[in-house]
Amino acid sequence: MALRINASRQTALGFLLGALLVGGVVGFTADRLVGDHMCRLGGDPRAMRQRFDDDLHLSAAQRPIVDSILGAKRRTIDALMQTTRPRLDSEDAATAAAIKTVLTADQQPTFDDMYRKFQDAKRLRRQGW
């Protein structure tokens, strides 16, 4: 028996798969850019900053200047994320709700657990953000 999917579900599935793909690519890229340092240093921002300074052999005069530049960048990113985070969270919730419409009753508890773990990990990342 062939599986038939109506047009609206097909569009929703296409959108979800696209969103998951884009999210995966962005996450993978961010992980590659930052992940190596974070893994080696245990995610400790101070250790990462010290390693950055040491790897560049920054002088005592350069360190506070670079620290100020990086602090300004962090404040700018935080300001941008204040407006972006709610939209990202809303998109996550909408995606999860749409996926649940496709799942069977047996699959939904597993998905709920996966989504809860995803949310917990996201919350932990934001605490270090």
Q: For each of the chain's 129 residues, which pLDDT tens digit applies?
A: 555 667 777 788 777 777 777 776 666 565 555 555 444 545 677 888 888 899 999 999 999 999 999 889 989 988 888 888 889 888 888 998 999 999 899 999 999 999 999 888 888 877 765
Is 31 inside any structural domain?
yes
Rounded-to-5 percentages of helix, strand, coil across the chain: 85, 0, 15
Is 41 inside any structural domain?
yes
pTM of the full structure: 0.48
Tokens of 3: 């599986």
Rounded Cα–Cα distance for residues 44 and 83 (Å): 26
How many domains are contained in the chain?
A: 1
Is 119 inside any structural domain?
no
pLDDT the model gives residue 118 = 86
pLDDT the model gives residue 41 = 47
- Note down the domain range covering 39: 19-57
